[in-house]
Chain A
Amino acid sequence: MSLIAQVQAPTVDFRGLSPLIALVVGANVVLLAGLLRGAGVQRVLVPLLAAVTLIVAGALSVAIWETGDVEPLVQSALAMDTLTLSMSLLFYLAGLATIALSLRSSAVGEAGAGEYYTLLLASISGMVVLAAAENLITLFVGLELLSIPLYVLCGSAVRERASLESGLKYLVIGSVGSATVLYGLALIYGATGQTDLGRIAAAIGEQVEVGDPLLLTGIALTASGLAFKASVAPFHQWTPDVYQGAPTPITAFMAVATKTAAFAVFLRLFDAALSTNQVEWGPALAALALATILIGNVGAIGQRSLKRLLAWSGVAQAGYLLAGVVVGTRLGLQATAFYLATYLVMNMAAFAVVIASERVSERGDDISSVEGLGARSPVLAWPLTIAMLGLAGFPATAGFMGKFYLIDAAVDGQYAWLGVTIVVGSMISLVYYLRVVAAMWMAPDAPPLAGPVRRMSPASGGSPEADPRAQPETVAVALVCAALTIAIGIFPSPLFDLAVQVGTSISGI
C-alpha cells in the first residue's frame, strides 16, 4: 500500500503531444463515421475527415516547432523535436496524397472507407511515435503501430488475389523484421542496462565498452530488422512483390512514408544513442549501403511492371539514404532529412501517374501502358518524366540537390568511396529511368492487345475513365509533386534551411 501511495501522476505536456492526440482522435472519428450508410458519407465525408485530421495534425506540428535539443515528453519517451516534426510533416503530406489517390480506388470500397482511412491514420500515428521514440520500448511500440495497419492495408483489395498475397507476404516478412528488431533492442538493453536513448549514449564507453560483443550483436540485429522496413539489401526481397500486389495508393504510401519512418528511427537510434560506436557500425552499414545501391539499381533494369520498377528504384534510393546515416555526422543527418523530402515529392509524382494510367489502360502497370503517353496526355507524361529525371538525379530537379547533399555528407564523413558509389548507382539507374521516359515520348501507341482483353485494373473501380480529366485529383497530385520537384531543384534554399534546423535536433554529433 505504501509503495503504491507514492505513485505520482506524470506531468503530461499536452501541447507537445497535440499532433498525436489529433491523429488518434481523428482515427476514431473516421472509424465511427465509416459506419454511417450512404454513398456520400463513404465517398466524401470519410476521406474529408481523414484529410482534415492530417491537416490539423500538421498545423499543430508547425505550431510546436522548436529548434535545438528539445526536452523529451512523457517520462522522456517521446521527443517532439525538429527531426520528429519535420518527418511528421512528410508523413502527413504523404497521407494527404494517398487519400487523394485512393478516392477512386476500388480497394476502399472493398475494405470499407472507414476501415481503410482509419488504418491509414493509425499507421501514420505509429510513424510519428516511431520518429519521436526516445526509448527502446516506445520505438518498438511505434514500429508495430506502423506495421500492423499496413499489413491489413496491403491486403485491403480483398477480391484481388495479388493484394491478399502481398498482405500475407508483408505480414510474414514484416514480423520477422519486427522480431529481429526486438531481439536486437533486448541485447542493447542487456549490454547497457538502459532503455532510454540518452542514457544508452551515456552508458556506452562508461559502463560498457565500445566494442562490447553483446552491444555489437544488438546493434547488428536492430540494424537488420530496421533494414527490413527500409528495404535495404539483402533484406529487400519482399519489396517488389509486396509493392506490386498492394493497391497502388498504398504502394505509394509505403514507398514514401514507411521508408521515411524507418530512416527517421535509423537516424535517431544511430546518431543519438549509438554515435560513440560509429567506428564500429559505420563500416557495416556502409557495406549494406553499397550492396543496396548496386542490387537495387541492377534489379530495376529488367523490370516491365512500373510498380516493380519503382520498388527496385526504392531499394536503390534506400542505399543512397543509408549513406547519410553511415557517416553519423550532423551533415549526414541534414542530408538524409533533405533527401527524404525530395524523395517524397518525386515518388508521389511517379506513383500518381502510374495510378492514373493503370486505371485507363488495359495493360495495367506494364511499361507498355505508358507508351505514347506523351502524345495522348502530356499532362500525365510530363510529371512522370520529371519524376524519373529527378529520381535519376538530373540537375535542376530535387533529386540532384538531394544527391549532391548526400555525397557532400559522405565525403565529409571520410566515406568518399560511398559518394562515388552513389554517382555510379545513379549512372546505372539512368538505364531504367530513361527507358520509361523513352516509352512515353518516343514509342508509338501500343497496339491493342490480342486475345482476351485484360479485366480492368482493380484501381479503376470498374469504369474505364479514358480521359485524365475524369480523375482530376490524381492528376493534381502528379502536377503538384512534379512542380515541387522542379521548384526544390531550382530554389533549394528554403528546404536547406529547414534541413539545417533538423540538424540541431540531436546534440552531441
Chain B
Amino acid sequence: MLGSYLPALVFLALGLVVGGVLTVLNGIIGPKRPGTVKEQPYECGLPSEVTSNFRFGISFYLIAMLFILFDIEVVFLYPVAVQLEAFGLFALIEIMVFIFLLFVAFVFVWRRGALEWR
C-alpha cells in the first residue's frame, strides 16, 4: 500500500532537487547587471502609470456590492417569471422565499444607512 506513495515521493524529491539546484546555480554563476528599467514592476506594454496606493471612497465599493446583489436577484427572477406556468406553484413559493430573504437584507442595509452617500 505504501508503494503507491513512491512516485509522489520521487516527484517531490526531484522537484526540490531540480528547483533548488537551478536557483542556487543561478545565484552563483548568473550575470548580474541591474538597471532602473529592470527593477520596475512589469506591466504589459507601456511603463506603469498607475500608483499602487491611490484611494477612492468606500461608498463606491458598498454601492457596487449592493448593486450586484440586487442585480442578481433580478436576473434570477427572469427565468422563473417567464416559465412560471411550467414550473408551477413550488417555484413561486421558492422565489417568494428568496425575495423575502433579500428583502430582509434590503431592510438591513437601508436602516443601517448603507444607501446614503457619504
Contact = CB atoms under 8 A, between A and B. Distances in A.
A32 B86 contact: no
B104 A216 contact: no
Contact of A4 (B4, B83, B101): B83
A280 B108 contact: no
A283 B83 CA distance: 52
Nearest to B7: A213
Nearest to B107: A32
Contacts of B112: 35
B50 interface: no
B87 A7 contact: yes
Interface residues of A, number: 18
Contact of A32 (B1, B5, B89, B104): B104
A437 interface: no
Interface residues of B, number: 17
Contacts of A211: 4
Contacts of B87: 4, 7
Nearest to B91: A9
A283 B86 contact: no
Nearest to B85: A5
The residue in A1, A28, A31 that gathers the most chain B C-beta atoms within 10 A of its C-beta is A28
A480 interface: no
A440 B87 CA distance: 66
Given A7-B87, A9-B88, A31 B4 contact: no
Interface SS, B side: helix
Interface string B84-118: 00111111000000000100100110011000000
A283 B111 CA distance: 55
B107 A35 contact: yes
A1 B2 CA distance: 55
A58 B25 CA distance: 62
Nearest to B93: A9
Contacts of B83: 4
Given A4-B83, A35-B107, A28 B101 contact: yes
Nearest to B83: A4
A279 interface: yes
Interface in A264-289: 279-280, 282-284
A28 B86 contact: no
A9 B107 CA distance: 31
Interface string A209-226: 001000010000000000
B108 A35 contact: yes
Contacts of B90: 9-10
A283 B104 contact: no
Contact of A280 (B1, B104, B111): B1
Interface string A444-460: 00000000000000000
B88 to A, nearest CB: 6
Contacts of A10: 90
Contacts of A7: 86-88
Nearest to B111: A35
Contacts of B89: 9
Interface in A327-371: none
Contacts of B2: 283
B44 to A, nearest CB: 25
Given A283-B2, A283-B5, A31 B86 contact: no
B1 A279 contact: yes
Interface in A412-435: none
A52 to B, nearest CB: 18
Contacts of A280: 1, 4
A1 B86 contact: yes
Contacts of B108: 31-32, 35, 114
Nearest to A35: B111
Contacts of A35: 107-108, 111-112
Contacts of B1: 279-280, 282-283
A8 to B, nearest CB: 9
Contacts of B101: 28
Nearest to A3: B86
Contact of B86 (A4, A216, A282, A284): A4
Contacts of A31: 104, 108
B14 to A, nearest CB: 16
B6 to A, nearest CB: 12
Given A31-B108, A32-B107, A35-B112, A216 B88 contact: no
B99 to A, nearest CB: 13
A5 B86 CA distance: 5
Contact of A216 (B4, B91, B111): B4
Interface in A1-44: 1, 4-5, 7, 9-10, 28, 31-32, 35
B65 to A, nearest CB: 14
Interface in B39-76: none
A32 B2 CA distance: 56
26 contacts: A1-B86, A4-B83, A4-B86, A4-B87, A7-B88, A9-B88, A9-B89, A9-B90, A10-B90, A28-B101, A28-B104, A31-B104, A32-B107, A32-B108, A35-B107, A35-B112, A114-B108, A211-B4, A216-B4, A280-B1, A280-B4, A282-B1, A283-B1, A283-B2, A283-B5, A284-B5
Given A10-B90, A28-B101, A279-B1, 9 more contacts: A1-B86, A4-B86, A5-B86, A7-B87, A7-B88, A9-B88, A32-B107, A35-B111, A35-B112
Interface of A: 1, 4-5, 7, 9-10, 28, 31-32, 35, 114, 211, 216, 279-280, 282-284
- Top 9 A-B pairs, shortest CB-CB distance: A9-B90, A4-B86, A35-B111, A279-B1, A28-B104, A5-B86, A4-B83, A211-B4, A31-B108
